[in-house]
Structure 1
Amino acid sequence: MKKTLILYTGGTLGMRRSESGYVPDADLEGALQRLLQDVIGQLPSYDFQALDPLLDSANMQPQDWYRIAALIRDNYSHYTGFVVLHGTDTMAYTASALSFALQGLAKPVVVTGSQIPLREMRSDAYNNLIAALLLSGSDSIGEVCLYFNGKLLRGNRAVKVSSGSLDAFSSPNYPSLGEVGIQVHIDPNALLMHGDTPQFEIPDNADGSVVLVKLFPGITPLFLSKVIEARPRGIVIETYGTGNAPTDNQAFTEQLTRATELGIICVAVSQCLENHVDLGKYAAGSALLRAGVIGGLDMTSEACYAKLNHLLAMNYTNSEVKDLMETPLCGECTP
């Protein structure tokens, strides 16, 4: 018997109108029962559990990622699949974080949501929810996925690309895992291999103390120095192109060297959606290498941030973190 656990975290799918705009609504379970009553025999049976408190995804913090992961870990043996209902704003961060916390899965974890609330006209929530439930019963999927608008994406490869379109997510550097149209098609060649034994990594302290810095024309060494003074344990740097930065300014490079000498792990990703970081391609990137910055390959900013936070929260040594950031753990990058 297929049985899915639906974890409702909040987000647009289950929201209702209020005087201040859309807010999370705890009364979603009854609405789902009424909505699915005519098709429930064609889907896996399910249990429903809502987080308390419900969160707009803009308010999600690392500890919330691991609260969701812990619920999946604790219920892993009781269900054949999991659906996480989540807001779209930080869905890619949560899907990425779950992939690192729940490695080696033999069951699907499908993260989904909607752009229009379930209770509104023309809502995309129904189709996304039906498809996510259907996919949660798949025997071929053993990883954390993100489903939206007909596309099944690897969770740690997905990015939100639109706030005004129903086609809100894309996977710029990895093919879709599947498509749901008139037929359901899953690409077996794109999926991770099933794990024999799941590896659950739920840190006691969820915050790895990582910051995300986007380079921009006019960024100053003083700006970077203020970030370093806050003493994060890691910095994800969104660089230009293949990993370039304003390294003609020697003081800027000196700040990066100072950061790495202080033991701060610095990882470069690209502001471009497609392709990957190659710090040795241009002189402007080679200077980052000499400063001790690590290349983030073709990871999305969301995946790189979640991965670095995860490794630091799990208290890996700096040497281990540097090696693991350049090693695919669950399909998040191409070596």
Structure 2
Amino acid sequence: MTTKILMIYTGGTIGMESSANGYTSVPGFESLIRSRLAHSHHALLPEFDMLELNPLIDSANLIPSHWTEMADIIIRKYEDYDGFIVLHGTDTMAYSASMLSFILQGLSKPVIFTGSQIPLSQLRNDALDNLITTLLLATDNSINEVCIYFSGRLLRGNRSSKVKATGLDAFNSPNFPWLGQVGLNVELHSNLFLPQKQPRFLNPEFKKNAVVILPIYPGINGKHVELLSSDPDCKAIILRSYGVGNLPDQNQELIDALKAAAQRGVIFVNNSQCLQAEIFQGQYACSSILNEIGVISGAEMTLEACFCKLHFLLATLTSTAIIKNNFAKSLAGEISR
């Protein structure tokens, strides 16, 4: 049986071309891909169809409704293809990969995001290698989750972050091992893949201001919490804390604002500013107050996973208590519990 892949081009650097205003996404990327692949050992590559979003997205312009659009394509075409590739801009790729991991729970086929730091249209680029390797990986039905492939690394999507702005190895998963690496050989660590379970695809509509992010910094004013939480659309705030979850507990204005917002029903999640970290709320006295307020630990989740998981739970559940309870559980391998 012939393996067939669906490639979804959302926009991003991989398909951009130079313009007077810098790199910009242009339609008709499929013809360039097929032209470049014709010079490769294309007989070894799977057949693929390609869909382009219209309009294309520079990933810096990504909004939550785009996640629904991407997921809808995969859900509608799920039985027609053996694997899926999402070509996406690098700036928000980890957000989209995280969200699709929550929407598409229980996958039995690969859904792999990739892109590049240099457009395929340029003579020297990283796009072609990422594209060819992702095509090969997308035929492997042992990969049963949403991943990012970039520069020799196969990563769990909801464990990934963009860690370099210009390096070709732009992505890493700081708190979880790589699912595979590609060098002279393709090495997949199947023991790390998610256990197979029944498909559960939920593709809700998201409210774009439901979740906001507040970095903690020296001298932070409690009025920032008041301003963010006063927005009726704001249902959850991610606190970007220090280290293992610490914040200035002697800043009474800040603590009072957190308490008041929590009493009004705003959900708070504690997420570390450190790239490699796990939240241990209460390990230091300065974070014990957060347990009293009812702030939820973000454990070792990336910021992108925290943000998307909150959006997903807010869009699919109604009870604050149930949302908090489900946030502490692993939905798609984003935490190790």
TM-score normalised according to structure 1 size: 0.97
Partners of 2:249 and 2:46 in 1: CA distance: 55
Aligned positions, number: 334
Aligned equivalent of 1:229: 230
Partners of 1:219 and 1:129 in 2: CA distance: 44
Q: How far apart are 1:289 and its partner, in Å?
A: 1.2
User: What does residue range 243-262 of structure 1 map to in structure 2 within 5 Å?
Assistant: 243-262=245-264
Check whether the contact 1:279–1:285 (CA below 8 A) recurs between aligned residues: yes
Q: How far apart are 1:40 and its partner, in Å?
A: 2.5
Q: How far apart are 1:178 and its partner, in Å?
A: 0.3
Identity of aligned residues (%): 45
Q: 2:241 aligns with which of 239, 242, 245?
A: 239
Partners of 1:24 and 1:102 in 2: CA distance: 27
More off after superposition, 242-251 vs 137-146: 242-251
Residues 192-236 of structure 1: CA deviation (Å, up to 9, x unaligned):
1223x3211111345461101111111111122111112310111
Aligned equivalent of 1:183: 185
Structure 1 stretches lacking a partner, 5+ long: none
The letter for the 2-side match of 1:265 is I
Aligned equivalent of 1:26: 27
Check whether the contact 1:278–1:295 (CA below 8 A) recurs between aligned residues: yes
The letter for the 1-side match of 2:202 is E
Q: 2:303 aligns with which of 276, 301, 304?
A: 301
More off after superposition, 201-210 vs 245-254: 201-210
Residues 243-273 of structure 1: CA deviation (Å, up to 9, x unaligned):
0111111221111111111111110110111
Q: Secondary structure at the match of 1:189?
A: helix
Q: Secondary structure at the match of 2:91?
A: coil
Partners of 2:54 and 2:207 in 1: CA distance: 18
Give the root-mean-square deviation of aligned CA atoms: 1.1
Q: Secondary structure at the match of 1:31?
A: helix
Asked if 1:98 corresponds to 2:72, the answer is no
TM-score normalised according to structure 2 size: 0.97
Check whether the contact 2:130–2:149 (CA below 8 A) recurs between aligned residues: yes
Partners of 1:156 and 1:198 in 2: CA distance: 18
Aligned equivalent of 1:311: 313
User: What does residue range 62-211 of structure 1 map to in structure 2 within 5 Å?
Assistant: 62-195=64-197, 197-207=198-208, 209-211=210-212
Partners of 1:11 and 1:23 in 2: CA distance: 8
The letter for the 1-side match of 2:32 is A
Partners of 1:34 and 1:113 in 2: CA distance: 17
Check whether the contact 2:194–2:333 (CA below 8 A) recurs between aligned residues: yes
Q: How far apart are 1:315 and its partner, in Å?
A: 3.1
Aligned equivalent of 2:6: 5
Partners of 1:131 and 1:208 in 2: CA distance: 36
